[in-house]
Structure 1
Amino acid sequence: MNHRYSERICSTQKSFIREILKVTANPEIISFAGGLPNPNLIDDEGIQKAAAAVLKEDGKTALQYSTTEGHPPLREWIAERYRIRYGLTVDADNILITNGSQQCLDLVGKVYLDKGDAVIVEDPGYLGAIQSFSMFQATYLPVPLDEEGPDLDCLTGVLETSSAKFMYGIPNSQNPSGITYSENRRRDLASELCEHEIPFLEDDAYGELQFDGVARKPVSAYMDGEGILTGSFSKIFSPGMRMGWVCAPDAVMEKILIAKQASDLHSNYLSQRILAKYLEENDIDAHIAGINKEYRKRAEWMVSKMDKCFPDDVHYTRPTGGMFVWLTLPEGVSSGELFEAALKRNVAILPGTPFYADGGGNSTVRVNFSNSDKEEIEAGIEIVADVLDEIRNSPQ
């Protein structure tokens, strides 16, 4: 049969990281490639108790269809969280529960993007967002990052010479670079975008994973209620339950609701009820503090081993949150070559090239520390260092 596929699906590439994760399913492989939360830090017993309580107390309702917006108590909890952490006044009506924060990208893409429309993205930027917006045949306007966030001079030039539907960014422990925007950069970015009437799609998947425990105000806090915020329970509760949310102004939320209804009617209602019950009966702040304590240790183990094993011309970040270390390799060393050689030694890393919307990044690598123990981190980094040395000393 002649299957006449859509232009959009034929022009969208497979997720590079998802393909790599198939390879790293082998238990003999030390994987730094994915962005997986540590399974030992998922409170499966607490979730089991919450699930049992929901099914016992109100099982027939929890197993029924529900509203598109999501479970009201869960949306109210998120709104209150914004007030407590950031001093933001958010109405629960402006919050929609989604199937993970990845679905937020798809819904916003549906609302804003037509073929050929431009999106401003960080350079490097989150590969999942690049893939999602590519489904709508978007074009990209990359803005490089410095240690405080997006380069505002470059952004100004982009805004003055191009037309974009919105800007997408991750201000807290940016994926993949690990950069956290400074407060001044957040203010200046908000001012610049508001001046040009460009919405900011703010992905806060890592906002709770800050090792110092400081809650940093979102860029949206400086945009007079016009920003679009997304969040996720995957990093602090359970990735498998696929619970995220989008917070948007009234007019935008009206359009997002239409897109959500057409997509899947509503997110998993049983999961919403279990999550709401868990939040009601457990100290989520203590749980998050425990996660941050463990991730900080793992980040320090990884960076310390890099300090001992890597030559001076390998540069890498020192994470203050999130789940990743970002490497810049010496001139002439390809991240693809390093990936292939390390995988032969049963260590998986993630080449940085998929994070660049317009190509590039051939000398960059993202490595994950959250899903490995100390022995795996030290052994894996030692192997990466050995392989790097072999590549540099091999005859050309």
Structure 2
Amino acid sequence: MLTGIIEQVDPAKWKLAPHVTELEASIIREILKITTRPGVISFAGGLPAPELFPIETVKELAAYVLDTYGAAAMQYSLSAGITPLRELLAERATGRGTASRTENILITAGAQQGIELLGRAFIAPGDYVLVENPTYLGALQVFNYYRAQYCVVEMDDEGMLIDQVEKQLETYHPKLIYTVSNFQNPTGITMSVERRKALIEIAGRYNVPIIDDNPYGELQFSDERIPTLKSIGGDEVVALRTFSKLVSPGFRVGWMNGPTEVIEQFEKVKQCVDLHANTFAQYLMLEFIKQGYLEPHVEKIRADYKAKRDTMLAALAEYFPPEITWTRPEGGMFIWLRLPSKLSAKELLNKAVERQVAYVYGEPFYPLGGGEHTMRLNYSNATHETIREGIKRLGDLFKAELAG
């Protein structure tokens, strides 16, 4: 006998754990629901440009993978990931200045799962985590789930302020340092080479590991490659990487690069989570790299995002009031804005949506509060025309509010 759909559940029966009931939905995901409305220009989500997805290439590679690997591409696999892909990623990292072996690589379901594995493996309730202020919201969600406490470090145009790092390490003894060192989400700031070296030296002195979340590192607009924290710091650093920003977020394929003994522990934790990452997608990414598609594809993305960044910066200069300032990222997907104290980015969002344009206000990126007068804009998932029109709408709104 079929039963009806239950609209409400009895909380006395479904006794969720406190750390689950205390979870808050991602504000970005909530704002993205608004952006599905017809006509809304969205600068909210950190979405890759869909017109750049290599759909025809993936069609060809999907057939090749099935013809070449057969049932293996559709079967359960190793928790650490398929060996050929791990070997290739280790070889690629070594060729780019980060000496790596297969045993250093763990395939994850995107870089976000890497953060989740770190939370499970490292954080007990009450442990401190050192983060940039502001920092990536998805990391804060994970750390909040495991009931971490925060010590925060402010940034300037060169990244973390190193004197603050040392003070926080000495005061709070955090379990780990979490940073997005390249084209940071949400600010677009990149840590300078000098700061990277100083951070590694101080972290080593205080015996605290560094987690470098680096999904945007290859989206650098200049040809001068910045040495990664991992390439400088070696075993002091666990690097999180992903193909989500380079090829497709739908594949959910990322990886961790860390000391062998640490990776072995993460592998055991991953077995508890999902057994292994998507096998078929791993083989697709293996062949995407082996057959020479990745590098030219990334070059195409870099050129596209650089042009869109330039369009947004020009539109900001043309349409925004002079009281508002913003970053000038040299890569990645985001521009960070600071508003005058008279304007609250959160309070103005509804008025912006009335004008058919959306952004993410800054407060959720600050783990200890603050950021009322900040906001994030994404330029990758828009056209040049919608960038100019959306920025004009926002500029008109902000000018009207400042004049009122």
TM band (smaller chain): over 0.9
Residue 225 of structure 1 corresponds to which residue in structure 2? Answer: 235
Residue 355 of structure 2 corresponds to which residue in structure 1? Answer: 345
Residue 71 of structure 1 corresponds to which residue in structure 2? Answer: 82
1:264 matches 2:274 = yes
Aligned equivalent of 1:60, options 71, 76, 84: 71
User: Partners of 1:59 and 1:27 in 2: how far apart?
Assistant: 42
User: Partners of 2:248 and 2:269 in 1: how far apart?
Assistant: 25
Residue 3 of structure 2 corresponds to which residue in structure 1? Answer: none
Residue 10 of structure 1 corresponds to which residue in structure 2? Answer: 21
Aligned equivalent of 1:51, options 57, 62, 82: 62
Instruction: Report the 3-state secondary structure (helix = DSSP H, G, I; strand = E; otherwise coil) of the residue aligned with 1:168.
Output: strand
- Within a 5 Å distance, the mapping from 1:1-396 to structure 2 comes to 1=10, 2=12, 3-85=14-96, 87-394=97-404
The superposition leaves residues 189-241 of structure 1 with CA deviations (integer Å, 9 ceiling, x where unpaired) of 10010000000010010010000033221223332423111101011111111
Using the TM superposition, give the Cα deviation of residue 146 of structure 1 relative to its aligned residue in structure 2, in angstroms: 1.0
> Which 10-residue stretch deviates more, 205-214 or 21-30?
21-30
Instruction: Report the 3-state secondary structure (helix = DSSP H, G, I; strand = E; otherwise coil) of the residue aligned with 2:79.
Output: coil
User: Partners of 2:170 and 2:329 in 1: how far apart?
Assistant: 34
User: Partners of 1:213 and 1:42 in 2: how far apart?
Assistant: 23
Instruction: Give the counterpart letter for 1:282 in structure 2.
Output: G
Using the TM superposition, give the Cα deviation of residue 340 of structure 1 relative to its aligned residue in structure 2, in angstroms: 1.4
Q: Judge conservation of contact 1:50–1:275 (CA < 8 Å) in 2.
A: no
Instruction: Give the counterpart letter for 1:20 in structure 2.
Output: I
Instruction: Report the 3-state secondary structure (helix = DSSP H, G, I; strand = E; otherwise coil) of the residue aligned with 1:164.
Output: coil
Instruction: Give the counterpart letter for 1:213 in structure 2.
Output: D
Superposition TM-score, scaled by structure 2 size: 0.95
Using the TM superposition, give the Cα deviation of residue 57 of structure 1 relative to its aligned residue in structure 2, in angstroms: 2.2
Instruction: Give the counterpart letter for 2:51 in structure 1.
Output: N
Instruction: Report the 3-state secondary structure (helix = DSSP H, G, I; strand = E; otherwise coil) of the residue aligned with 2:372.
Output: coil
Instruction: Report the 3-state secondary structure (helix = DSSP H, G, I; strand = E; otherwise coil) of the residue aligned with 2:377.
Output: strand
- Tell me how many residue pairs correspond in the alignment: 393
User: Unpaired runs of 5+ in structure 2?
Assistant: 1-9
User: Partners of 1:155 and 1:319 in 2: how far apart?
Assistant: 23
User: Unpaired runs of 5+ in structure 1?
Assistant: none
The superposition leaves residues 125-160 of structure 1 with CA deviations (integer Å, 9 ceiling, x where unpaired) of 000100111110111111111111101111111011
Instruction: Give the counterpart letter for 1:178 in structure 2.
Output: G
Using the TM superposition, give the Cα deviation of residue 11 of structure 1 relative to its aligned residue in structure 2, in angstroms: 2.2
The superposition leaves residues 92-114 of structure 1 with CA deviations (integer Å, 9 ceiling, x where unpaired) of 11101110100000001100001
Instruction: Report the 3-state secondary structure (helix = DSSP H, G, I; strand = E; otherwise coil) of the residue aligned with 1:222.
Output: helix
The superposition leaves residues 10-54 of structure 1 with CA deviations (integer Å, 9 ceiling, x where unpaired) of 222111101111111224110000000001111111111111111
User: Partners of 1:251 and 1:279 in 2: how far apart?
Assistant: 27
Instruction: Report the 3-state secondary structure (helix = DSSP H, G, I; strand = E; otherwise coil) of the residue aligned with 1:282.
Output: coil
Instruction: Give the counterpart letter for 2:112 in structure 1.
Output: Q
Q: Judge conservation of contact 1:190–1:220 (CA < 8 Å) in 2.
A: no
Using the TM superposition, give the Cα deviation of residue 60 of structure 1 relative to its aligned residue in structure 2, in angstroms: 1.2
User: Partners of 1:268 and 1:61 in 2: how far apart?
Assistant: 12
Using the TM superposition, give the Cα deviation of residue 268 of structure 1 relative to its aligned residue in structure 2, in angstroms: 0.5
Q: Judge conservation of contact 2:98–2:234 (CA < 8 Å) in 1.
A: no
Q: Judge conservation of contact 1:202–1:228 (CA < 8 Å) in 2.
A: yes
User: Partners of 2:253 and 2:270 in 1: how far apart?
Assistant: 14
User: Partners of 1:214 and 1:284 in 2: how far apart?
Assistant: 19
Q: Judge conservation of contact 1:191–1:222 (CA < 8 Å) in 2.
A: no
User: Partners of 2:233 and 2:72 in 1: how far apart?
Assistant: 39
User: Partners of 1:34 and 1:119 in 2: how far apart?
Assistant: 26
Superposition TM-score, scaled by structure 1 size: 0.97
Using the TM superposition, give the Cα deviation of residue 310 of structure 1 relative to its aligned residue in structure 2, in angstroms: 1.1
Q: Judge conservation of contact 1:120–1:166 (CA < 8 Å) in 2.
A: yes
Which contiguous aligned blocks of 4+ residues in structure 1 show a shift greater than 4 angstroms?
none
User: Partners of 1:321 and 1:363 in 2: how far apart?
Assistant: 24
User: Partners of 1:225 and 1:216 in 2: how far apart?
Assistant: 19
User: Partners of 1:368 and 1:122 in 2: how far apart?
Assistant: 20
Instruction: Report the 3-state secondary structure (helix = DSSP H, G, I; strand = E; otherwise coil) of the residue aligned with 2:16.
Output: coil
User: Partners of 1:273 and 1:173 in 2: how far apart?
Assistant: 29
Instruction: Give the counterpart letter for 2:32 in structure 1.
Output: L
Instruction: Report the 3-state secondary structure (helix = DSSP H, G, I; strand = E; otherwise coil) of the residue aligned with 1:23.
Output: helix
